[in-house]
């Protein structure tokens, strides 16, 4: 009979989950005007509002993430119109995915002239890792301007 000191315990290890390709290939949005949720009417080039809905539509709807001065995630509260470098600032109060690799279709809203939910779009969201705000997003709407996504830290 073996003693407890002779027993060996099996340790099960799991390889790290592979990072989804969407997370590796995502476009990084880093512009500081994306995190201005104060209605400051900042224009990226000084005269023309940002239009993510148009450019992302015609670029094949790439996955994107917020980094650096743009923040690290999609804004989760209503900004006033003319925020985030655009006229129609887009945000979402939806619950985001919580498990690595989980995808979810969420509703995003645009603040234009009447209030917080003047228009709606859908946005695919993918949780890339266990890090709290490690998400990539994909615009699923049309190409109407002037609407852009807001970031926050």
Residue 81 clears pLDDT 80, i.e. is over it: yes
Provide mean pLDDT across the span 105-119. Answer: 91
Per residue in 118-148, pLDDT tens? 999 999 999 999 999 999 999 998 888 999 9
Q: How confident is the model at residue 12 (pLDDT cuts 50, 70, 90)?
A: low
In-domain check, residue 132: yes
In-domain check, residue 13: no
DSSP label at residue 82: S
Q: How confident is the model at residue 113 (pLDDT cuts 50, 70, 90)?
A: confident
In-domain check, residue 12: no
In-domain check, residue 14: no
Dihedral Cα 77, 116, 126, 14, nearest 10 deg: 30
In-domain check, residue 63: yes
Residue 80 clears pLDDT 90, i.e. is over it: yes
Mean pLDDT of the chain: 90
In-domain check, residue 1: no
In-domain check, residue 2: no
Q: How confident is the model at residue 114 (pLDDT cuts 50, 70, 90)?
A: confident
The residue segments making up the domain with residue 118 are: 19-152
Tally of domains in the chain: 1
In-domain check, residue 66: yes
Cβ burial of 118 (10 Å; 0-12, 13-18, 19+) is middle
């Amino acid at each position: 009979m073996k003693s407890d000191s002779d027993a060996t315990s099996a340790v099960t290890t799991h390889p790290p989950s592979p990072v989804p390709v969407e997370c590796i290939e995502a476009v990084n949005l880093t512009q500081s005007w994306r995190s201005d949720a104060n209605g400051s009417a900042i224009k990226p080039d000084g005269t023309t509002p940002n239009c993510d809905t148009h450019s992302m539509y015609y670029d094949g709807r790439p996955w994107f993430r917020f980094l650096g001065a743009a923040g690290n995630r999609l804004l989760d509260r209503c900004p006033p119109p003319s925020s985030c470098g655009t006229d129609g600032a887009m945000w979402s109060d939806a619950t985001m995915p919580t498990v690595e690799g989980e995808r979810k279709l969420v509703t995003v809203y645009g603040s234009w002239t009447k209030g917080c939910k003047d228009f709606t779009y859908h946005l695919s969201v993918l949780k890339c890792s266990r890090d709290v705000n490690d998400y990539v997003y994909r615009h699923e709407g049309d190409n109407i301007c002037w609407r852009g996504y807001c970031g926050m830290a």
